[in-house]
Amino acid sequence: MKLRLNIIMVLLIMASMLICLTTIMMYGAIDENNMINRISRGYYGEYATHFKFIDEKDENIKKIITLLKNEEYKDFALIYDGYEAGVRQIYIKGNYDSPPMLRGRFLTEDDFFNNKDLAVIGKDLLKDTYIADGKEVILIDNKQFEIIGVMGYSSASILDKMKVVNFDSLMKNYNNNIYIMDGYSRYGKVGVRKTMDKITELLKGGNIGVEVLDIKPIDTNRLLGMNINTSLVFGLLIICFLLCIYNIYAAWFHHNIRLIGIMKLVGWDIHRIRYYIFIRLFLYSIVGTILGIILSHILKIKIRNNIIIFHILLINLTFLILSMLPTLRRTEKVSVAEVIK
């Protein structure tokens, strides 16, 4: 296959590159902004449910964890914060959002009910750690916890002084009666809300007197009075993205309309012509997309998770193909007489 570079092709590659770059910039910015908001909120989601036990008893939390453990619901975390001590007790079932880690890993479902005392600590607490039995440990409430990860964000944050431990190892009541049920953010706002509603119903029906509280912690959005809906922005951008690609392909199509007419004239069937167009557009777009990814690395556009780059690549390619469909359909309408006259 012979690929000739002309100005339209160069522009097509450049446009694909810029689209990929801007998508990475945009996605990165939205993702970082969400992360900043989450951290500023105390590292839990926007729809986390705060509740309290109506009768404050030590065994309540054990009952509730047993109840949740035996239920089918998953992809959530039960959190109890000892604010002054900087200790967070957490129970995770299924998937849950890991905070930004500097090393090691965050707690997972397998770390619970295994008679393990595990902790993930903030970077500022590293000075309090020591080695015991060949393991890096930290003393929390006169108990040694093995450190499995160190968390921290690029800016100083609440995470830096936080100690997160598995709930079953500590089970301690601090000076508050507030528990937080948080969902896995990957399911989106609706998904998280649904899970939270189900679990809240479960708690209410579990003969443990709980009262759901109307608490919305201050985050950066509330502090700055920001009302922007990043999901809406991203949705509109996806539409713009489709239109942009469509325009690029339309430009290519008009540049090559005579060629397509001649192909028809010499007897190429419509599928062959479509395949010819598809391969060319796809290859140039792929080249542009890959160049965009390389450029984003050169420009040091920060993406927290490299898997996101892969997702962006997939989304870009899907939209490239979708936007190609009208162009491919137009090949049928090309009039040979019209283009060669």
Partner 1 sequence: MNYKYNTNKLFYLSEAKMGLKRNIVASTIIVFQCIVCLVLMAITHSDLKQGDTKLRQINDYYNKIHYSLHDEADKDGSFSLYLNSESEYYKLKGFVEELRNNKDINFVNTILQPVTLINQNIPDKFFFQYEEGYAEPADFEKVNDLIIQNSWVKGIQISENVKEIFNLEMDSGTFFSEEDYILDDGPIHSAILGYEYKDYSHVGDKIKIGYLFNIIDFQVIGFLKKDTNVVRNNNIVNIDRYVCIPAFTDLNYNLYPNLAAPALGQQANGQILTLDSTIDVAKMIEQCSLKYGTFKFEVYSDSRNETKNMVKLSDDSLNKIRTMNNALLIFTIVSITMSMISRIQKDYYRFGVQLLCGASIYNILNQVAIELFPVVNIALVFSLIISSIILGFGTYQLLLILVSCIIFCSSMVIPSYVLIKEGINQLIRREE
Interface with partner 1 (CB under 8 A): 7-8, 11, 15, 18-19, 22-23, 25-26, 28-30, 32-33, 36-37, 39-40, 52-53, 153-158, 175-178, 213-215, 218, 220-228, 233, 236-237, 239-241, 243-244, 246-248, 250-251, 253-255, 257
Q: State how far the Cα of 42 lies from the Cα of 19, in Å rounded to an integer.
A: 34
Least spacing, CB of residue 11 vs partner 1, in Å = 6
The DSSP annotation for 281-311 comes to: HHHHHHHHHHHHHHHHHHTT---S-HHHHHH
Least spacing, CB of residue 72 vs partner 1, in Å = 28
Closer to partner 1 at the Cβ: 136 or 242?
242
Closer to partner 1 at the Cβ: 71 or 217?
217
Least spacing, CB of residue 129 vs partner 1, in Å = 21
The helix/strand/coil state of 239 is: helix
Q: State how far the Cα of 67 lies from the Cα of 62, in Å rounded to an integer.
A: 9
Closer to partner 1 at the Cβ: 202 or 250?
250
Q: Which residue has the tokens 């167009």?
A: 277
The helix/strand/coil state of 50 is: strand
Closer to partner 1 at the Cβ: 118 or 185?
185
Closer to partner 1 at the Cβ: 106 or 253?
253
Closer to partner 1 at the Cβ: 148 or 199?
199
Closest listed residue to residue 136, CA positions, set 124, 156, 121: 121
Q: Residue 164 pairs with which residues in a beta bridge? A: 88, 120
Cα 294 to chain centroid, rounded: 21
Least spacing, CB of residue 131 vs partner 1, in Å = 29
Closest listed residue to residue 290, CA positions, set 314, 271, 313, 270: 313
Least spacing, CB of residue 133 vs partner 1, in Å = 34
Least spacing, CB of residue 261 vs partner 1, in Å = 13
Closer to partner 1 at the Cβ: 149 or 292?
292
Q: Residue 131 pairs with which residues in a beta bridge? A: 136
Closer to partner 1 at the Cβ: 67 or 213?
213
- Structure-derived torsion over alpha carbons of residues 38, 42, 46, 49, reported in degrees to the nearest 10: 150
- Structure-derived torsion over alpha carbons of residues 316, 322, 327, 328, reported in degrees to the nearest 10: 120
Closer to partner 1 at the Cβ: 112 or 319?
319
Least spacing, CB of residue 136 vs partner 1, in Å = 25
Least spacing, CB of residue 233 vs partner 1, in Å = 6
Q: Which two tokens stand for residue 36?
A: 């900043």
Q: State how far the Cα of 274 lies from the Cα of 325, in Å rounded to an integer.
A: 10
Least spacing, CB of residue 195 vs partner 1, in Å = 22
Give the residue ranges of DSSP H helices in the chain. Answer: 7-40, 59-70, 167-170, 188-205, 220-224, 230-255, 257-265, 270-298, 306-330, 336-340
